[in-house]
Structure 1
Amino acid sequence: MKLTVRDLFDIPIMKNFRLIAGEKGLNRPVMLTETLDFEFTKGISMPRSTLFTGKSLILTSLLFAKDDPRQILEAVKGLFALDVSCMAYKKVIYHSLPQEVIDFADEKGFPILEFGGDEFFEDIIFSVNRELRDGEDIASLERDLARILDQEASPREELKIRKKINPGFKRFIRAVSVKDLSLKSEEAIVKMVGRMASLERISKKAALCKFRDTYFIFLSQDTDEIFRFRALLADIFAALSIDESKIHCGVSAVLPISEDFGKVVREAFWACNVAVMENDPARYYDDIGIYRLIIPEIHSKNILNYMREYPSPLGDVAPVQGISGSAAQEEGLRPVPVQRERNVLLETACVYILSKGDLDETAAKLFCHKNTVRYRLSKLHEILDPYSNDKEFHENLSIAVRIYMLSQFL
């Protein structure tokens, strides 16, 4: 996990630590924890550059300066020069620091923390290192899930991954993929993973794993009764304070755990992508219609070739994102540069298909008149499918748009 000084306050043992200087440096990275004992004691010559590592958190009691507070400034300057990220001192010898130390730390953006409870250095070091190690485990699981989604993991490897996620899963399993709009960074998802792991009662039969800017929730039960899975998911949402009005989620089928684990992962992932595309709160893989024909073949050469070739007359089209009126404003019939016009045509096609052919809804999402939508669709018909009738064109465009949109998630 990539920790910053700011993140340290979220570690339970450090929740009562107080920042006393260097606020400008709260985003400095922390990669390990070390202790400062006598390295800056006056009269002792030591190779400090080899004793301290850059991007570290330094813990100290300031014992080395007990007879001379001036040594504190020298130590802080030395640590800053060695690219140390932060110093935390325990208030056993000094209950406050000299003003010149505070001034230097503020000027340089070198965070200094103080603590004075019953926290022991070894416990702090263990807790910070665990956060860093858990982050490595999270990154490793992300790579594992990517291999499952790309269908590169063998059944034996999928079994290992499943046990790595939670060796205590029950007989039946379901996956839920969640795109949480309330989480503004991947670090926020990492924190949610930690909160889930702390819920002992729930984590015995469930797990939460980060994947890119989304997360998977794995649910397991001793029976395949759907209401039990729904109750467990509701319990998790409540425990983690997940706001259901701010998420898109995809839900897999319930399968015996002895069967294809990769299947529930892929079903949840793609159902979530469909929910995002169509701006639905939730989609069940069993109910996504024609997408079930496309998704299993999304990596196939034929599908990808079709996706490239059908819209190729539009030229080098830009990926469509935020299609609910994000880019195309009312253009009327005014002349626009060719490539820009073709990007607008592609966006119109995507919005039109995802609006299920509703002209009024399409026009509202694109902030234009529905006659403008008609004109753009006519232009698309002329460019892409000049020899088809209206029904054939709609069918061909529908498939091409869905493949194109799904391909953005590869």
Structure 2
Amino acid sequence: MSISVKDIIGLKSTEAFVLIAGIKGLGNRVASAKILNGGLDFECKNKFVLAELTNEKSEQGVIIKKLIENGASGLAFRTENRNDVSQDIIEVAEKNSFPIFSFGEETSLENVIYQIMSRTMTDDYLSVTENTIEKMIETKLSTNEVIGITGSISTLLLKNAMVVYIKSIKEDTFLDVDKFIVTFNANEDMKDKAGLRRYKNGLMIMITKDNKEKRKYLITLDEIMSLCGIEEKKVVMSISNIHQTYEEINICFRESYYAYIVARADNLNKVFYEDIGVYKFLIPNAKSETQRNFMNEYLKFVLDNEELLETVIEFVRTGGNLQQTADRIFCHKNTVRYRINKLHEAVEPNGSSDMTFYENISAAVKIYLINQL
């Protein structure tokens, strides 16, 4: 897949790029990227070149003319003074529609290379876009639609699939998804095992095999994480069940994302869809009026009280364990018992068993947590 120079300057890593010359070349095709090293390797056809440019304007002219002659897509160089480029060079760039950018010390060459390569490398295994993933998660698709999407992904897909969604455990920290994808795609041994794609600042990993042995899928997942340098303790992992690839890949993506919602709601690092229980019903219906009314009925007495709300949330997260709840909110077990009993009396004044109350308050809290995400 190739992109244009204009696509490159829209990347996060190139935000500090300043166009000096060659605006008519922003549509130039970019198939790859390279750093121009001291050896002056000018093998750069359809490549976007990054360089630490010499201050000698005569040498600059030689370099830029060589890049143009060899079919480079454009050039970006590090400088604190855009006047380091002579007017003659600017005229050559304009004449040849050769875009030249400058950037300062704040720009990381490594990050620029990774992001350009991520955008340009052919991802034969998994070419679905974020919009396609969103559609598979949010929309009920016909079997033919799913088969059409799966068929467009790759001819390498095996019979069954599992999807794993990975995001940073810190919600204000983003994974270096572009770097992971480039690292993965550079490993030929992995191409027939899995595919990686960006989704909402996280990483979707699709693993396909001819068997349904969960253990083998997880072994492949460990291999991918090791290859990409992803530390399990620093991420949230949500894992789908195994389904037929061509007819049910949308279910894999949906289950993985639903498991992620549960991980965030219950403050967990690793969640399998098969273990999320009633969330399977609550998540797809979280915005329904019926569920919201139910939530408000049980939480109306605590929504405006931060202390009580924290108590009931942790009470549900611990499965109704009073001591664990007390430990989490740093108070006495009897204080938790008192608060929960008072809430029980308030929302179910006609009386109900502790089990029934817990089931109801648990569902209400889960609806609340889903809607906070």
Shift of 1:256: 1.9
2:160 aligned with 1:172, yes or no?
A: yes
2:362 aligned with 1:401, yes or no?
A: no
Shift of 1:355: 0.9
- 1:14 aligns with one of 24, 35, 41: 35
The normalised TM-score by structure 1 is 0.61
Match in the other structure for 1:221 = 209
Question: Equivalences for 1:150-161 in 2 at 5 Å?
Answer: 150-161=138-149
1:183/1:189 contact within 8 Å kept? no
Shift of 1:255: 1.6
- Using the alignment, how far apart are the partners of 1:238 and 1:3 within structure 2? 26
Match in the other structure for 2:306 = 343
1:206/1:218 contact within 8 Å kept? yes
Letter in 2 for 1:394: Y
Shift of 1:176: 1.4
1:186/1:213 contact within 8 Å kept? yes
- Using the alignment, how far apart are the partners of 1:183 and 1:381 within structure 2? 33
2:319 aligned with 1:356, yes or no?
A: yes
Shift of 1:164: 4.3
1:29-85 residue CA offsets vs partner (Å, 9 max, x unmatched): xxxxxx977xxxxxxxxxxxxxxxxxx97458xxxxxxxx8936996xxx9xxxx99
Listed as ranges, the gaps of 5+ residues in structure 2 are 1-9, 18-31, 38-49, 55-62, 66-72, 78-83
Aligned-pair Cα RMSD in Å: 4.4
1:106-157 residue CA offsets vs partner (Å, 9 max, x unmatched): 8xx8x799xxxxxxxxxxx99986655679x999722222222212544444
Instruction: For residue 254 of structure 2, give the secondary structure of its aligned residue in structure 1.
Output: helix
Question: Equivalences for 1:356-375 in 2 at 5 Å?
Answer: 356-375=319-338
- Using the alignment, how far apart are the partners of 2:177 and 2:148 within structure 1? 23
Match in the other structure for 2:13 = 4
Instruction: For residue 351 of structure 1, give the secondary structure of its aligned residue in structure 2.
Output: helix
Structure 2 vs 1, CA of residues 313 and 373 (structure 1 numbering), >3 Å: closer, same or farther?
closer
Structure 2 vs 1, CA of residues 72 and 182 (structure 1 numbering), >3 Å: closer, same or farther?
farther
Match in the other structure for 2:29 = none
Letter in 2 for 1:396: N
2:353 aligned with 1:386, yes or no?
A: no
1:359/1:373 contact within 8 Å kept? yes
- Using the alignment, how far apart are the partners of 1:127 and 1:226 within structure 2? 32
Shift of 1:353: 0.5
2:51/2:75 contact within 8 Å kept? no
Structure 2 vs 1, CA of residues 233 and 74 (structure 1 numbering), >3 Å: closer, same or farther?
closer
Letter in 2 for 1:402: K
- Using the alignment, how far apart are the partners of 1:376 and 1:20 within structure 2? 68
Structure 2 vs 1, CA of residues 70 and 381 (structure 1 numbering), >3 Å: closer, same or farther?
closer
- Using the alignment, how far apart are the partners of 1:20 and 1:370 within structure 2? 67
- 2:228 aligns with one of 211, 233, 240: 240
- 1:310 aligns with one of 298, 315, 330: 298
Shift of 1:195: 2.3
1:373-397 residue CA offsets vs partner (Å, 9 max, x unmatched): 2343234334433333351322210
Structure 2 vs 1, CA of residues 402 and 184 (structure 1 numbering), >3 Å: closer, same or farther?
closer
Shift of 1:220: 0.3
Instruction: For residue 356 of structure 1, give the secondary structure of its aligned residue in structure 2.
Output: coil
Shift of 1:406: 2.6
Instruction: For residue 208 of structure 1, give the secondary structure of its aligned residue in structure 2.
Output: strand
2:96 aligned with 1:87, yes or no?
A: no
- Using the alignment, how far apart are the partners of 2:199 and 2:225 within structure 1? 18
Shift of 1:366: 1.6
In terms of mean alpha carbon deviation, does 142-151 or 381-390 score higher? 381-390
Match in the other structure for 1:286 = 274
- Using the alignment, how far apart are the partners of 1:4 and 1:169 within structure 2? 32
2:150/2:249 contact within 8 Å kept? yes
Shift of 1:399: 1.2
1:353/1:398 contact within 8 Å kept? yes
- 2:179 aligns with one of 181, 184, 191: 191
Instruction: For residue 224 of structure 1, give the secondary structure of its aligned residue in structure 2.
Output: coil
2:175/2:202 contact within 8 Å kept? no
Structure 2 vs 1, CA of residues 112 and 304 (structure 1 numbering), >3 Å: closer, same or farther?
closer
Match in the other structure for 1:269 = 257
Listed as ranges, the gaps of 5+ residues in structure 1 are 22-34, 38-55, 61-68, 89-104, 114-124, 318-338
Q: Identity over the aligned pairs, expressed in percent? A: 25
Instruction: For residue 195 of structure 2, give the secondary structure of its aligned residue in structure 1.
Output: strand
Shift of 1:187: 6.2
The normalised TM-score by structure 2 is 0.66
Question: Equivalences for 1:29-68 in 2 at 5 Å?
Answer: 58-59=75-76
Shift of 1:15: 8.1
- Using the alignment, how far apart are the partners of 2:146 and 2:251 within structure 1? 10
Instruction: For residue 34 of structure 2, give the secondary structure of its aligned residue in structure 1.
Output: helix
2:175/2:201 contact within 8 Å kept? no
Structure 2 vs 1, CA of residues 128 and 263 (structure 1 numbering), >3 Å: closer, same or farther?
closer
Instruction: For residue 310 of structure 1, give the secondary structure of its aligned residue in structure 2.
Output: helix
